[in-house]
Each structure stands twice: as structure tokens, then as C-alpha cells.
Structure 1
Amino acid sequence: MSETLPTVLDIEASGFGRGSYPIEVGIARADGSCCAFLIQPLDEWTHWDPKAELLHGISRDRLLQEGYPVHQVAHWLNDELRELGKAYSDSWGYDNTWLSLLFHHAGLLPRFRLEALRILLSEAQQELWSDTKEAVIAESGIHRHRAGEDARLLQLTYQRTLAMAECANRKR
């Protein structure tokens, strides 16, 4: 496929709603490689939803022991995404809020934009999305609700729905 894959960003969080904060950020790069970093919670970040922990499997203790400081993660994101200028998210509302919180507490401005992945999708891709995503999950063995792997899952789903939509168009 000649099209470049979109760079996808995903964030796992302490929960949803008021008081939640980012605990892991991951990206899937245009070349298909992906990486993620756990984030050390700040002292004032106290919200913790046990249901969210059941989903992502990351304990607060693990974040305290293995997480990277907020400013380090923000610098890494800027280094990774500055030149590209943008990344895409399937949960823009949540991810953009958590990304803003991360950069605010790091005392930095993001040097890239986060955009909604759906703006890249044709109508045909949108119709194929859910079933295709489930098929990719079943085939790939991706561990859901981990930031790097979820970003890669979205990227693979995008790639497959694009190919399927193009194939359907050629048959018409």
C-alpha cells in the first residue's frame, strides 16, 4: 500500500471524568513501530478508579515505581511528534483533555496537534470500522487497553478498512 499510515496516539488514564489523569501514553508511528511510557502520577493526582485498573491492568504502585516524570513524557512526545506536526486519536475528547493536563503540569506547550482519527475515514471505512477492529484484535493478539498496543490496533484497523474500501471501489 502506497499510503503512509497515520501516526496514532493513545492514552490510558486513572479513570474517566473529573479528577482523572493520564497514566500511560503510546504512539504508533507511520512506519508501524510503536512505543509507550508509563507516567508517574503527581502528588495532587489522587483519583483512582479500580474499574479502570481492571481494564488496563496497571496499578498505581507500578506507576510510582516504573513511571516516567510528567515533564520527561511531554518532552518525549514533542521530540517524537514536532516534525510531523500532528497525531490522531480515536477518543479525541478524552485524549486531548489528558494530553493538555500532561503538558500543563510539565510546563510545556505541545509542538503538535492531536486530531480525531475519524476525520481521515471515508464513509465506507466508518461502516467497516467496528467489525474490522474486532477481526484485527482476534488475529493479532494485541493486549487491549495498553496505550502503545491500542494505538497500533487503531492504525492496523485504519489500514485494513482503507484497503477494503479501495477494493470495493475498484469492483464498482
Structure 2
Amino acid sequence: MNPPIILDIEASGFGVGSYPIEIGYIDAAGAMWSAQVQPHAEWEHWDHEAEKLHQQSRQELVQHGQTARAIAMHLNKTFAGQTLYTDGWYQDFVWLHSLYEVAGMSPAFKLEDLSVLLTAEQKTVWHDTKQGIREAFGLQQHRAAIDAKALQLTWLKTMEMTTAFAS
């Protein structure tokens, strides 16, 4: 059973003007990667409530973040022609587009909503299973690669649960 590649994006806030601050993924083999995003000059919105959630300051991103172009190049090289999944498709699509726009590039992969892969049975047990996995593995929330891992582990567990239940 090949799990989906999960992409997660943390942002400077929600709504108009927000932008990606961290991008992370877990691939089908379970390898994780993440990068802080150096804010582009045009990106000015900063929500202090969001900062409390993801525990990353704008100054930290300026000093240690990778450029949008470097991140876009890495994602394109790693996932050209593949489909990646996210649990927050609308927001993540907008933030990913912002990253690629300032990088002067286009994604070489497709971003899809994770819900298209879920059966009705998986959807029924999804929330409780995800919460149980976060607690069992001690997975911190609001860090991109860790959130991606929690989603992939939840997908795997719900597949196992619903397959066993159907047998």
C-alpha cells in the first residue's frame, strides 16, 4: 500500500496578504523534508496569533529561511509529474501559488485535496484517528513536515482500519 505524498504549508496568517513561511512534505517512502521560507519583499502581512501557533518569527525567517526560488526548484525536481496531497487545499494552493509567483516559476507537480483519496469509512474515523496518532507519537502541530507526517500516518491507519473492518 503506497501512501500519498503529503505537502503542508504554514503561513504568516490567514486571508488576504498571507504568505507561506514553512513548506514541508513526507514522501511515499516516509522521508520528510521542510524549509522555512524567507519572506519576499512584497510579503508584508504578519499575524502575531499565527506566530504563536507556528512558533517562528518573521526575523527568524529572514535570517534562516530559503528563498522561494530555491524551494520551488527543490519541489519541482523532487516531484515533477507527480500528485501531492494536502488537507487544506484551498489555502495551500493559494500559498503555493504565491511562492511560485515570486520565484518566477510554475509547479511541475499537481496539488490535490487529500479528501479525494478518502473512502466514506475513512472520513468517519479520520478526526479521532488523527488525534490519536498525534498523541501516540507526540507530534507537534503547526510545523509543516510534522503535520504532513501526521496526515500520512492517519491515512495509513484509517486504510488499515477500514480494510480490516470490511474483511
TM interval, shorter chain, is over 0.9
Partner of 1:103: 100
Give the alignment partner of residue 155 of structure 1, picking from 146, 152, 167: 152
Aligned equivalents of 1:81, 1:16: Cα separation in 2: 27
Q: Deviations over 1:122-143 (max 9, x none)?
A: 0000000000000001000111
Q: Deviations over 1:43-62 (max 9, x none)?
A: 11110000101111011011
Partner of 2:36: 38
Q: Which runs of structure 2 are paired with 1:7-86 in the superposition (5 Å)?
A: 7-83=5-81, 85-86=82-83
Shift of 1:80: 1.3
Q: How many residues align?
A: 167
Aligned equivalents of 2:19, 2:112: Cα separation in 1: 19
Aligned equivalents of 2:27, 2:64: Cα separation in 1: 23
Partner of 1:91: 88
TM-score by length of 1: 0.96
2:128 pairs with 1:134: no
Q: Report the secondary structure of 2:34's partner residue.
A: strand
1:41 maps to amino acid: P
2:149 maps to amino acid: R
Q: Report the secondary structure of 2:84's partner residue.
A: strand
Q: Report the secondary structure of 1:27's partner residue.
A: strand
Q: Percent identity?
A: 43
Aligned equivalents of 2:138, 2:78: Cα separation in 1: 26
In structure 2, stretches of 5+ residues that fail to align are none
TM-score by length of 2: 0.99
Shift of 1:77: 0.7
Shift of 1:167: 0.7
In structure 1, stretches of 5+ residues that fail to align are none
Moved over 3 A (4+): none
